[in-house]
A and B are shown apart, each in its own frame.
Chain A
Amino acid sequence: MLRQVEGSRAVADAVARCRPQVIAAYPISPQTHIVEALSDLVRTGELAPCEYLMVESEFGALSACIGASAAGARAYTATASQGLLFMAEAIPNASGLGLPVVMTVANRAIGAPINIWNDHSDAMSQRDAGWIQLFAESNQEAVDLHVQAFVLAERLSLPVMVCMDGFVLTHAVEEVDVPEQDVVDSLLPPFVPRQVLDPAAPVTIGAMVGPEAFTEVKYLAAVQQLRALEEIPVVAEEFTRATGRTSGGLVSRYRTDDAETVVVAMGSVLGSVKDVVDELREDGVRIGAVTVTCFRPWPTDEVREALAGVERVIVLNRAFSVGSGTMLGQDVRLTLTTRAPSPATVPAPATVVHDVVAGLGGRPVTRDSIRALVAAVLGGEVDPDRLHFLDLDRSLLEGEDLTPAAKDAR
């Protein structure tokens, strides 16, 4: 049923219909509305049986989920930004132990300077932690991805991070359909753990592994994570059959068929990007957009296929690697320069990748800015060998003691 609802509330309802048995929560903006709503649902008994733990930190939150999951319970938590960093030690622990925890990350910048608004620095910082990372483009997709996340997590015995843009999505009120309980139940059977803490059949979980087997354990983890590339489309297809709605998947394309220029991005910025694509298409510009929904594991083949034959790619990044490039941009670049499995999907050898940093710390990425960026790229004004910062306000930089390289970049 469609209803006008805040993104956080819709996600909370979707999570509740996934019947988590343990929720561990610690407040941090902008994920607070999600755990507040879940607290209501547990207190009123609408979500039962479920234990709601108000822990002392995000580190405690994920740790409690680790314990709960090891004891065979479906476990959920949510965080953002500094909270994600505060739980950082537990993040690879959950994946290393193969515990299918689902966590919402309401994407927010990382300080200093402290900033509560949206970008992807938080999730990007944990891209190598062994979790599946899914990025929602809209509130509807955020809702749908949470249902799919629990299915995926438990099928693969891997934790899943559902990333949704802080404020832009979490606090936006729009029409959303939360799948009904029977639909969710049909997609998500009761949790059957791969391994469980049970006095009747005791196991040791979390042993110490030395050089003689550590590489093999990590290799198996890598293989297991790559299995998500097969499972995610399957789950998305099952979801479509159950709801009639297309949501999730690895990568999606928008008007890319004959495109010479393609904008690649993740999250809510795709809404504006697609509007600009439509506008430029009317002007005769052969442009399209590619949404990366699954960032980890990285869908190499699907990205390569989506960008096959494209002359230039503009990667819009909501985060960057200081002193290097960007995370998404480098994955795209690498994908375009490595060998394809079949000649049919070989990209044009001259595909140029423009790595662009945009929308840090909540700065809006407007249609005007995107249009201007595309024009600059097409006009040869953007050097593809340099990281480009969208809408850099140079008046704020006046008088700052910049390095020669930075001055040169001006």
Chain B
Amino acid sequence: MTTDLKLYQIGTFAAGNRLLDPDERSVQADPGRANAITSGHRACQGCGEALGARFVLDAAIRAAGGDIVTANATGCLEVFSTPYPESAWQLAWVHSLFGNVAAVASGIAAALKAQGREHVRVVAQAGDGGTVDIGLGCLSGMFERNDDVLFVCYDNQGYMNTGVQRSGATPPAARTATTKPVGAEPGNVFGQGKDLPRIAMAHEIPYVATATVADLRDLERKVEKAMSMHGARYLHVLVPCPLGWASASQDTIRLARLATQSGLFPVFEAEHGVVTATTPIRQRVPVEDYLVLQGRFSHLFGEHGRPDVVARIQAGADHNIARYALAPDPEVVPHD
């Protein structure tokens, strides 16, 4: 069987695993996969975070030969997976607090080193609030000490667990419970928020990557790459949230893909502070295609729509595309 199949050849991002050599198949295609987060948990239908966490951890477990321990920040992932006396985790898992998961993971890594058990690898998981806001101090400390931890941020762009409030990762104009679409500047403000992958890169850690749940093979590959390295590694995964984004459950993958294809979410890798690879946009779309599917942007459309705000969002996407050279053609495919 050939191994140089073009995964994109059929116009979708999917590729039949049975067409590939066993080595090329996804972790999830393996009936012996770890299934780190098993069924029966209480995530919402269409939850991007639950999907992302399963792919990340199963790939990490395979890469580490099963020797994984994980620390989890407070947040949706923690709440929906561990309502006592149930647990969806089929791996060693600890939850301490909201803002300290990076430090907890550093402590675990230090313990394993002192015990001579360095073959056991550490993965820390948090949502965007636990990463870019309340957890940033501990995370920055973990980065600068280059502790042997893979930190995964599942970014759903807001505090969804507490009822959809704005976080430092909420995009401009988005409606949240604390950025309502009222007043002259509806939704979240422009010009704020944190670009955590770039903040991570500024620490010059061995590996930084972004990924989405639209391209799960890419996500698995990046986890495997991260696990092949030591030191502080950071993976930022865009995980659409039907509840917080007011989107249809079946649109989770579609929205993640539109986020990348519009340029709003650049997909790239960086090593020691330098971008080493980007995922080019295959089929560029206007940001409107992405925004219009989400109730959190509904105030930008319709009779009282705000094309001026949509244009500002488009400018942000264009900036990303230029910054990471994501598309050779600057022209946006017209929306019809």
Contact = CB atoms under 8 A, between A and B. Distances in A.
Contacts of B116: 49
A35 to B, nearest CB: 15
B137 A199 contact: no
Nearest to A53: B110
Interface stretch (A70-78, A306-314, A378-386): A70-78
Most buried by B among A53, A63, A97: A63
Interface in A353-374: none
B126 to A, nearest CB: 13
B188 interface: no
A56 B93 contact: no
A66 B71 CA distance: 11
Contacts of B104: 63-64, 66-67, 70
Given A51-B113, A67-B96, A199 B66 contact: yes
Interface stretch (A136-144, A208-216, A236-244): A208-216
B92 A198 contact: yes
A109 to B, nearest CB: 25
B114 A199 contact: no
A104 to B, nearest CB: 18
B314 interface: no
Contacts of A395: none
A50 B115 CA distance: 9
B275 interface: no
B298 interface: no
Given A59-B103, A59-B137, A71-B69, A51 B95 contact: no
Interface string A192-210: 0000011101111111111
Nearest to A206: B95
Given A59-B103, A64-B103, A205-B95, A70 B108 contact: yes
Contacts of B107: 22, 24, 53, 63-71, 75
Contacts, number: 164
Given A67-B71, A67-B106, A210-B83, A53 B94 contact: no
A206 B77 CA distance: 13
B91 to A, nearest CB: 5
B84 A210 contact: yes
A22 B87 contact: no
A65 B94 CA distance: 13
Interface stretch (B138-146, B205-213, B282-290): B138-146
B2 interface: no
A179 B164 CA distance: 56
Most buried by A among B84, B138, B140, B147: B84
A92 B220 CA distance: 37
Contacts of B99: 59, 89
A55 interface: yes
A29 interface: no
Interface in B97-142: 97, 99-100, 103-116, 120, 137-138, 140-141
Contacts of B66: 199
Interface string A86-119: 0001100100010000000000000000000000
Interface string A224-266: 0000000000000000000000000000000000000000000
A64 B82 contact: no
B20 interface: no
Most buried by A among B69, B110, B144: B110
Interface in A1-50: 21-22, 24, 49-50
B67 interface: yes
A60 interface: yes
Interface in A153-190: none
A57 interface: yes
A394 B83 CA distance: 57
Contacts of A210: 83-84
Contacts of A59: 99-100, 103, 137-138
A209 B145 CA distance: 34
Contact of A206 (B83, B91, B96, B105): B96
Nearest to A199: B67
B79 A208 contact: yes
Contacts of B137: 56-57, 59-60
Given A60-B106, A63-B103, 14 more contacts: A22-B110, A51-B110, A53-B145, A55-B106, A59-B137, A60-B103, A61-B103, A63-B100, A65-B107, A66-B104, A67-B103, A68-B111, A70-B94, A210-B84
25 contacts: A21-B111, A21-B114, A22-B110, A22-B111, A24-B107, A56-B137, A59-B103, A63-B103, A63-B107, A64-B103, A64-B106, A67-B96, A69-B107, A71-B107, A71-B112, A89-B99, A93-B96, A197-B93, A202-B90, A204-B94, A205-B94, A206-B82, A206-B94, A207-B85, A207-B95
The 4 closest A-B pairs by CB, nearest first: A67-B107, A56-B141, A73-B111, A64-B107
Interface of A: 21-22, 24, 49-51, 53-57, 59-61, 63-73, 75, 89-90, 93, 97, 197-199, 201-210, 213
Interface of B: 66-69, 71-72, 78-79, 82-85, 87, 89-97, 99-100, 103-116, 120, 137-138, 140-141, 144-145, 147
